[in-house]
Structure 1
Amino acid sequence: MTHPFRLDGRTALVTGANAGIGQAIALALGRAGARVIAASRRPATETLTALGPQGEALMLDLSDPLAARDIFAGRRVDILVNNAGIIRRADSLDVTEQDWDEVMDVNLKAVFFTTQAFARAVLARGGRGKVINIASLLSFQGGIRVASYTAAKHGVAGLTRILANEWAGRGINVNAIAPGYIETANTAALRADPERNAAILARIPAGRWGRPEDIAETAVFLAAPASNYIHGAVLNVDGGWLAR
């Protein structure tokens, strides 16, 4: 009987696997037995060193939303983690079309077309697949000064649901994780600001910032057989932030 939380014999592709949450997910999938393709636009040297022989590098720049259209040809991938993303901060009155388009291309358009290419390959071989999208608390909230990011992450939640509706009966699970405030390079400035840090912690019932590993282990669950009957879910991994 297959262990419900093991990924032996499976291959996962993780975008943005060179650092932060993407790196943690890649390593956790590897620990669970998966072979991991670490896809990123910068070398994922540290990730690949930690993965050892279970890891494979793939240079992939998703500023071209169709960059992944051919990567699944001749390469069996069972699990896709759409983690790569960017953010641009500005008052909504000052957002430029270029900034808007850059964020939407990486955070939403590339997610759709990468997932489409993955699903075509899975269905063509008559297999099963798991898709894990990285959403955000801003898939549910508005935020401030991140209009394009908020719009894209709302879109990721919507894509997760529609693709689950279309593919659940065809052997592909599509789910998402909505991370809360996580200790990464992107949040270093917030954590270094005593007032902002205190305000954030005051709202988190768990009383601490999340760690990349908190997201990574949730990704293992969604990639593993244990989650086979979960479709279209957006799981909040936020220490209780949204419950507050």
Structure 2
Amino acid sequence: MSAAASGSKSSKDTETDSPRRRPSQNRRSSSADNILRSVDEPPPTLITTLIKHGKYIALGGVGTWYTDLIGVGRRILDEESGWIRRVLVAAIGLHGLTIIIFLYLVLFLPWFRGYIPHYPKWQQSARLRLLVPVLTATILLGWTSYVVSLSQAGKASIFVSLGDAVQGVGEADPAKMSGTRGIGVFRAMAGTTALYALTLGVLGLIPAPSNVPIRKKHS
């Protein structure tokens, strides 16, 4: 009887002790799984990065060259005056602001502040709540300003340009939507899109530092 009682007691002790060990065992198992997953996932190599972003650089470079976007922009800055030139200057400024914001997010914060923002939950971050809408606005306004200035060169005023654009859409006549010294709406759209693809492709080549945490709290 005493042996049976001691056996049952030891089994009960084992049963009561085992749950106490399970949380630590689970934590060790979870940590080991995380380590194994991080080891199994190969870090992005230079070739992978070049393939991922190189296509945007190639397409953007070819599109910018084919539409002669840089040459047309220089000609407008040198020869045009008035609202067309001001719109192009605004487009260049917005483009530069877009680059600065991207550099702040992908270069300054990871390399100098030591963390990467948690972009999927950007609305919970005080910093990203400001930067994401501003970044979106600079891209949209900059793209539109480029298209307007490159396609409407030669129009006397913005009101004439708007009137001709409405008339051109109504009559399905693309020629009326372009200025006499512009490169055309569709060519301007293609060239501007290529320019932004080239810009984002080059910015994508900036490497992220290793072992940098993703900040999920309010920044």
Under TM normalisation by the shorter chain, which class is it?
under 0.3
Q: Calculate the TM-score normalised by the size of structure 1.
A: 0.26
Higher relative contact order (CA 8 A, sep 6+): 2
Bigger proportion of residues as strand = 1
